Amino acid sequence: MNKQLPKGFFWGGSVSSFQTEGAWDEGGKGVSIYDITPTPEGHADWKVAIDAYHRYDEDIELMRQMNFNFYRFSICWSRIIPNGDDEVNEEGVKFYSDLIDKLLAAGIEPMITLVHFDMPAHLVKKYNGFASRTVVDLFARYAKVCYERFGDRVKHWMTFNEQNLHSVFIRVSNAYDVPEGKSEAAHLYQVAHNVMIAHCKATKLLHEMVPDAKMGGMTTVTNYYPATMTPENNLFCQQAYNYHSQWVVEVQATGKYPAYWTTYLKNRGWYPEMEEGDEELMLESTVDYLCFSYYRSNTLTEGTFDYERPFNDCIEDHIIQNPHLDATEWGWEKDAVGLRWILCDMYQRYRMPVFILENGMGAREELDENGEVNDDYRIEYHRNHIEAMKQAMFEDGVDCLGYIVWGPIDIPSSSCEVAKRYGFVFVNRTDTDLRDLRRVPKKSFAWAAKAFGSNGEDLA
C-alpha cells in the first residue's frame, strides 16, 4: 500500500519577532524587555537580529522557493501597543498587516504567536510581568486588538510560545520580583497559573471574535529515558515528563489541571491562588489542536522530587548524556525515534490533532571557499525526523497537521548566539560583525524545496 501524507499537510518554518526583525527603535515600537536585557558575553544583542523588518520580501521569496505553505511568526507586543497599557501604534499594525498580505500572496498560510517570551518593558517595571493579573488583562486586550486587525486573514493562532516553560524559568514570564513572604517556587507556579489564565482569556476571545480561526496550544516537549532498568528510574522519568511537558497540554486539551499536578503543588504548599471564575474559564477555553516543539530527548539517572526546589531543578540534577545517541556541540541529542514516541503519546492521551511547530538542529557554520555551506548533517537530521513522523502517522494512526522547522533562515538563538545556526539559508553575520546580512542558500535549501514540494515523498 502506497501511503501518502494528506493533501494540505503543512510544511514551513517558525521564528520569533525578537530573533528576526531588528529595527528595535523604528516604526513607533516601544521598548521591549529584550531591548534592555543583557546577553551573554561574546553573543550579539537584539537590535538588528537578521534585519527581517526591512528584508521580509527577500525572505518570503526564499520561503516560496523552498515550497513553504506555512509560516509561524510572533508579533512584538511593544510594536502594537508600545508600553502595553497605552494606545495602539498604527505603524506597527501596518507592518504586520503588510507581512500577512505578502505571505498570503506567496501561498504561505500565516500563524501568529502573540507572545514569544517578550513583552513591553514598561509592563515588567510597573507590574512585575505576569505576576500581575493586571498584565493578564492587558494581554487579553492586546490579543483582542490583534484579532480585530488580523483575524480576517489569519486563521491559525497561538497564545504563548512553549507555554510550559513558564513553570520552568521565571525569566520567560518577566516576573522577577518574588513577593515578600512567598517562596521562589510558590511564586513560579503562581505566575504559571496566571499565564494559563491569560492563555484561556485569549483563546475564548478568539473563538468568540473569529469563529473560523483555530487556536493551538503549544509546549516544548522532551521525553526522558531511564539510565538504568530500575522501576524507580522509570517512575522518575514518567514524573519528569508529566511535570515538565504535559501538565500544560492537559489543561489546553481538557480544561482542567491534572491530578498529578495539583497533588504535587498542594503537597508542597505551592498551589496557586485562584480568582473566582478561573476554573470555569479553563473549562470553556480548550484549544483546537496541540502544538509542540521538539529538538532532543534526555536521559535521567534515578532520582526523586524533593519538597524544597521546583521540579526542574530536580530534573537538571539527573541529566546525563545518552551513550546511544549522537549530540550537537551544545549537547542536544539527535533522537528521531523520540519524536515518534511523543507524537504517539500526545495523540493517544488527548485524541486531538497534533502539530510539530519547531524541529531542527543548531551547528556552527561559515561559508567555504566556494561561498557554500554543505550541511549534509542537517539534511540527515530532518530526513530522519520526517520519516519518524510519517511512521507515527502511517503505522500508529497519529493525526499530525504539519512539520514546521525552527529558524529556516539563520537567526540568533534564544540566548542571541548567532553562531548556533538552524537554517536552510545562511545569513552573513556573526555575533560581533553585522557584515552585509546577505542570504545564501545552503545545500539543505534545495533538499528542503524537494522534500516539502513533494509533500514529504522525496527525502533522498
Taking the C-alpha atoms of residue 239 and residue 263, their distance in angstroms, rounded to an integer, is: 12
Note if 162 is an active site residue. Answer: yes
The active-site residue out of 21, 250, 333, 358 is 358
Nearest residue to 131 via CA among 169, 160, 170: 170
The active-site residue out of 162, 250, 333, 417 is 162
Taking the C-alpha atoms of residue 293 and residue 406, their distance in angstroms, rounded to an integer, is: 9
CB burial class (10 A; 0-12, 13-18, 19+) of residue 174? Answer: buried
Q: In 427-449, which positions are buried (b, 16+ CB within 10 angstroms) versus exposed (e)?
A: bbbebeeeeebebebbebbebbb
The upper half-sphere exposure of residue 312, i.e. CA atoms within 13 Å in the direction of its Cβ, equals: 14
Give the DSSP H or E segment for 320: strand 319-320
Nearest residue to 178 via CA among 165, 188, 168: 188
Count of C-beta atoms within a 10 Å radius of residue 421: 26
Note if 275 is an active site residue. Answer: no
Taking the C-alpha atoms of residue 23 and residue 409, their distance in angstroms, rounded to an integer, is: 18
Nearest residue to 260 via CA among 238, 279, 242, 274: 242
Q: What DSSP string describes 168-189?
A: T-GGGGT---PPTT--HHHHHH
Alpha carbon 210 to its chain's center = 23
Provide the annotated active-site residues: 162, 358
